[in-house]
């Protein structure tokens, strides 16, 4: 804590100090503006690493979803195939009936005399048969087991004419609304099968048989159950094959994760050691040399003054001051590279030392750090918080024209730690913040590097506040 004056306003209210002049025309302070959202940041290395349990859950979920989809699609497809096969079986049954029973019993007279075909009734029997009809090509019913249809004429539909034109067996669901099907309407859904037959002298007739559709449904269910069993067995086999593959992938993932973690630890250790080495080299080399040069130049200045060479003494004193300034800047660089207090005395002490170095006597800075709160942060987060506070205070000293500032670090209202730097300087318009300014870019990068949220609150004449919300890990 440095400086004679203390900032009195609350830590989250960047208002001007009492007694300072503010232009009444200046706009009132605006609310907090998010500069970097936590979700926009780069996740911590540990969060970027593969979560094996989550991966396993995703694989199992995906496999189950695919299995269910395959089973449903297979069930639907197998049902359609089974139904088509059942219709085909009924059509084959009718084909055999027409080929082996009906056609051998036909006579040439049956082609023109409806009464001559009555003898067919004793030959055609079947539990699933609902109706049998024998048609002439002109549409006359020459025989039916429903006597009221015999000798009546109805127009043949397109399918029947096609079966006569190109001899074939056709099966389809009966259209019970047609006049020739008036006596079958009470039977429910029916399947009709027709095919051409020929008398001994070559007269072409059309044989038609009607079956209860329940025969098709029952046969279709039997086939479908068989297909479904095959489908489910196939899906189970795929799962059985996937288990060793998934297990191998998980083992490889764990090994890769362990390797990444080891590499990251080595990289962090190497970075820490290198920063320590560079800082030590600067401190023990150039800094000490500059200090010695400063003492030597100051001694020479005192000697010149003693000899009465006041002009030379003044020049030497100025040179000594320049050397001390350069030495101070170099010490700041050393602190930036490797803040000694972070590992030895902790973040709170390091922040206080940093305030003394950055602010000096130009700005009175109050420091309020909850040591229990900041102790929750890991080394990477503490380093980032230190750099954020350092950059925010530098901006205050260089650009804000402030006389007072406050640095606070405390437990956030939800979870994590909130770090705030506020001043009573000139401020600026939050909607026209200079995003290309190096200091703002650095603070944004710092927030993104630890997946923290960075907010800004400022307006002309009402100071500036930066707030960093760091989630605990």
Q: Of 239, 264, 289, at which residue does a domain stop?
A: 264
Question: Are both 85 and 228 inside the same structural domain?
Answer: yes
In this structure, are residues 117 and 154 in contact, taking their beta carbons and an 8 Å threshold? no
Integer-rounded Cα Rg, in Å, for the chain is 48
Q: Which of 182, 138, 178 is nearest to 161 (CA)?
A: 138
Question: Are both 360 and 250 inside the same structural domain?
Answer: no
In this structure, are residues 400 and 426 in contact, taking their beta carbons and an 8 Å threshold? yes
Q: Which long-range contacts (CB under 8 A, 24 or more apart) does 137-145 make?
A: 137/164, 137/204, 137/205, 137/206, 140/114, 141/114, 141/180, 142/110, 142/111, 142/113, 142/114, 142/117, 142/205, 143/110, 143/114, 143/117, 143/118, 145/121
Using alpha carbons, list the distances in angstroms from residue 165 to 160, 201, 210, 243, 356: 9, 18, 21, 58, 106
SS3 453: strand
The number of beta carbons lying within 10 Å of the beta carbon of residue 215 is 19
Question: Are both 202 and 251 inside the same structural domain?
Answer: yes
Question: Are both 2 and 56 inside the same structural domain?
Answer: no
pTM: 0.44
Q: Which letter does DSSP use for residue 100 in this model?
A: I
Residue 53 maps to which CATH number?
3.30.450.20
In this structure, are residues 74 and 176 in contact, taking their beta carbons and an 8 Å threshold? no
Residue whose structure tokens are 């029916």: 190
CA atoms of 289 and 356, how far apart (whole Å): 23
Token digits for 283? 């401190």
CA atoms of 425 and 406, how far apart (whole Å): 12
The separation between the first and the last C-alpha atoms of the chain, rounded to the nearest angstrom, is 29
CA atoms of 245 and 239, how far apart (whole Å): 10
Question: Are both 244 and 148 inside the same structural domain?
Answer: yes
In this structure, what are the phi and psi dihedrals at residue 106, rounded to the nearest 5 degrees? -75, 145
Question: Are both 88 and 24 inside the same structural domain?
Answer: no
Question: Are both 18 and 63 inside the same structural domain?
Answer: no
Domain range enclosing 437: 1-30+347-473
CA atoms of 117 and 82, how far apart (whole Å): 36
Question: Are both 92 and 24 inside the same structural domain?
Answer: no
Q: For residue 435, what pLDDT is reported?
A: 52
User: Does residue 303 belong to any structural domain of this protein?
Assistant: no
In this structure, what are the phi and psi dihedrals at residue 155, rounded to the nearest 5 degrees? -70, 135
CA atoms of 379 and 324, how far apart (whole Å): 32
Q: From first to last of its 473 residues, what are the pLDDT tens digits of the chain?
A: 333 333 333 334 333 333 333 444 445 556 788 888 875 444 444 444 445 667 667 777 877 787 778 777 777 777 777 778 778 888 888 888 888 888 898 888 888 888 888 888 878 776 678 889 999 999 999 999 888 999 999 999 888 888 888 888 888 888 889 999 989 888 888 888 989 999 999 999 999 989 888 777 777 777 767 766 777 777 778 777 877 887 787 788 778 878 877 786 676 567 667 767 887 787 778 878 888 888 888 888 888 888 888 888 888 888 888 888 877 777 667 666 666 656 666 788 888 878 877 766 778 899 999 888 888 888 888 888 888 988 898 888 888 888 999 999 998 876 789 999 999 989 888 776 655 567 788 888 888 888 899 999 988 888 999 999 998 87
Question: Are both 215 and 251 inside the same structural domain?
Answer: yes
Residue 426 maps to which CATH number?
3.30.565.10
User: Does residue 171 belong to any structural domain of this protein?
Assistant: yes
CA atoms of 60 and 384, how far apart (whole Å): 39
User: Does residue 277 belong to any structural domain of this protein?
Assistant: no
Token digits for 90? 């009924």
Q: Of 215, 246, 264, at which residue does a domain stop?
A: 264
CA atoms of 17 and 11, how far apart (whole Å): 13
Q: List 207's β-bridge partners, or say none.
A: 134, 195
Question: Are both 89 and 122 inside the same structural domain?
Answer: yes
Q: For residue 379, what pLDDT is reported?
A: 82
User: Does residue 184 belong to any structural domain of this protein?
Assistant: yes
- Tell how far CA 128 is from the center of its chain: 58
Q: Which of 340, 227, 350, 206 is nearest to 275 (CA)?
A: 340
User: Does residue 325 belong to any structural domain of this protein?
Assistant: no
User: Does residue 64 belong to any structural domain of this protein?
Assistant: yes
Taking every pair of Cα atoms in the chain, the longest distance, rounded to a whole number of angstroms, is: 157
User: Does residue 119 belong to any structural domain of this protein?
Assistant: yes
- Look at the chain and report how many structural domains it folds into: 2
In this structure, are residues 471 and 416 in contact, taking their beta carbons and an 8 Å threshold? yes
Q: 153: Cβ–Cβ under 8 A, 6 or more apart, which residues?
A: 138, 139, 140, 141
Question: Are both 147 and 231 inside the same structural domain?
Answer: yes
Q: Of 226, 242, 264, at which residue does a domain stop?
A: 264
Question: Are both 207 and 255 inside the same structural domain?
Answer: yes
In this structure, are residues 148 and 162 in contact, taking their beta carbons and an 8 Å threshold? no
Question: How many alpha carbons fall within 13 Å on the CB side of residue 157?
Answer: 14
CA atoms of 433 and 457, how far apart (whole Å): 11
């Amino acid at each position: 804590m440095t400086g004679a004056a203390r900032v009195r306003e609350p830590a989250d209210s960047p208002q001007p100090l009492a007694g300072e002049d503010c232009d009444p025309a200046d706009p009132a302070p605006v609310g907090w503006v998010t500069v970097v959202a936590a979700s926009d940041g780069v996740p911590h290395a540990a969060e970027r690493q593969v979560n094996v349990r989550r991966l396993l859950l995703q694989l199992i979920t995906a496999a189950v979803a695919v299995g269910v989809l395959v089973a449903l699609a297979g069930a639907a497809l197998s049902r359609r195939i089974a139904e088509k096969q059942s219709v085909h079986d009924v059509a084959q049954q009718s084909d055999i009936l027409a080929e082996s029973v009906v056609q051998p019993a036909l006579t040439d007279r049956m082609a023109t005399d409806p009464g001559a075909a009555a003898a067919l009734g004793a030959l055609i029997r079947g539990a699933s048969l609902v109706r049998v009809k024998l048609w002439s090509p002109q549409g006359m019913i020459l025989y039916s087991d429903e006597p009221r249809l015999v000798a009546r004429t109805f127009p043949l539909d397109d399918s029947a004419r096609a079966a006569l034109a190109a001899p074939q067996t056709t099966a389809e669901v009966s259209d019970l609304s047609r006049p020739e099907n008036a006596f079958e309407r009470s039977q429910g859904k029916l399947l009709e099968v027709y095919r051409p037959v020929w008398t001994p002298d070559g007269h072409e007739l059309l044989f038609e048989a009607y079956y209860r559709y329940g025969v098709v449904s029952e046969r279709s269910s039997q086939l479908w159950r068989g297909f479904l069993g095959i489908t489910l067995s196939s899906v189970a086999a795929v799962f059985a094959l996937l288990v060793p593959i998934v297990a191998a992938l998980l083992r490889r993932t764990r090994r890769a994760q362990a390797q990444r973690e080891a590499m990251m630890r080595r990289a962090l250790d190497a970075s820490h050691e290198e920063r320590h080495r560079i800082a030590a080299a600067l401190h023990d080399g150039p800094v000490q040399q500059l200090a010695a040069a400063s003492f030597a130049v100051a001694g020479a200045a005192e000697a010149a003054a003693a000899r009465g060479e006041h002009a030379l003494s003044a020049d030497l004193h100025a040179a000594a001051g320049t050397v001390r300034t350069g030495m101070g800047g170099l010490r700041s660089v050393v602190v930036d590279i490797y803040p000694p207090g972070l590992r030895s005395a902790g973040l709170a002490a390091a922040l206080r030392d940093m305030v003394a170095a950055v602010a000096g006597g130009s700005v009175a800075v109050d420091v309020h750090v909850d040591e229990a709160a900041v102790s929750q942060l890991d080394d990477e987060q503490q380093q980032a918080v230190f750099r954020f506070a350092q950059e925010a205070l530098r901006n205050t000293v260089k650009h804000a024209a402030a006389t007072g500032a406050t640095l606070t670090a405390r437990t956030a209202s939800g979870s994590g730690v909130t770090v705030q730097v506020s001043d009573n300087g000139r401020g600026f318009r939050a909607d026209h913040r200079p995003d290309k300014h190096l200091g703002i870019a650095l603070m944004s990068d710092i927030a993104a590097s630890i997946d923290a949220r960075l907010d800004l609150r400022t307006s002309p004449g009402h100071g500036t506040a930066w707030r960093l919300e760091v989630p605990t890990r």
